[in-house]
Amino acid sequence: MNLGKLQQAAVLLFAQQGFAATGIRELGAAAGINSATLYHYVGSKEELLVSVMKDCLNEMIRSGSEALRKSSEPALQLAGLISSHVGFTGTNQLTSRVAEYEMRALSETNRPAMQGLRDEYESLFAQVLERGTRVGVFSTDDLTMARLAIMEMGTGVAHWFRPNGRLELHEVQQNFVNMAYRVLAADPTLLTGVDFMVAPRQLASEPDSLSAPETVP
């Protein structure tokens, strides 16, 4: 049994009906194995969710950190971060939605570690926005609200983007960078001739086709 296939089955079911409403037998049936074999591979339903969330958050941190290393300028770092964030959520839509909504399902044993990874990822945006505001390339009345707006805007891509839709993913990434620059009153000419785009990776947990509803219960 490939762990990625088991994660894909879990992501589909968790996105369709929520973690709490998904039974261990359903997971086994969806993955084509019995419950005993599933327990052998992942230990428990929650451990399976944790493996999905951990892989998701670690890849977001890795990709975001890579984007930051492309430049020392906050304006360009932010563009790379947004490109990474939007590209990731557009490529890993169901996994992103499960990781976002099912943090609430984790026990006190597992939640602190996963919340720590989420906080680490959000800190990438917070640090760049703080530096950019300090040196005068960004301007906003409330830095925290600006960060939340930019990140939530990008996370929402997981709900509506379709690969065969009106826009290609790289166009969506560019548009979101442009919108964030307007939110922060940043000079768009800072991006002229600069390659800040980040090519996203598809996680092993992401199903090949979208078959879950638009929202997670």
pLDDT digits (tens, 9 = 90+) for 190-213: 998 888 888 899 999 999 865 554
Q: At residue 214, does pLDDT exceed 60?
A: no
Mean pLDDT in residue range 129-149: 96
- The answer to whether residues 89 and 6 belong to one domain is no
- The answer to whether residues 115 and 36 belong to one domain is no
Instruction: Find the domain containing 119 and state its range.
Output: 53-191
Note every long-range contact of 45-49, with CB atoms under 8 Å and residues 24 or more positions apart, other chains counting. 45/19, 46/105, 46/106, 46/107, 46/110, 48/6, 48/7, 48/10, 49/10, 49/14, 49/19, 49/98, 49/102, 49/105, 49/106
Within a domain: 216? no
Tokens representing residue 4 in the block:
């990625």
- The answer to whether residues 39 and 57 belong to one domain is no
Within a domain: 210? no
Within a domain: 4? yes
Indicate the pTM of the whole model. Answer: 0.91
Q: At residue 162, does pLDDT exceed 70?
A: yes
CATH number, domain of 64, equals 1.10.357.10
- The answer to whether residues 109 and 2 belong to one domain is no
- The answer to whether residues 101 and 122 belong to one domain is yes
- The answer to whether residues 79 and 97 belong to one domain is yes
- The answer to whether residues 102 and 148 belong to one domain is yes
State residue 48's pLDDT score. Answer: 93
**Mean pLDDT for the chain?**
91
Within a domain: 133? yes
Within a domain: 11? yes
- The answer to whether residues 101 and 179 belong to one domain is yes
Within a domain: 211? no
Number of separate domains in the chain: 2
- The answer to whether residues 181 and 143 belong to one domain is yes
**3-class secondary structure for 37-97?**
HHHHHHCCHHHHHHHHHHHHHHHHHHHHHHHHCCCCCHHHHHHHHHHHHHHHHHHCHHHHH
Within a domain: 196? no
> Are the beta carbons of 206 and 93 closer than 8 angstroms?
yes
pLDDT digits (tens, 9 = 90+) for 41-90: 788 899 999 999 999 999 999 999 999 999 999 999 999 999 999 999 99
CATH number, domain of 12, equals 1.10.10.60
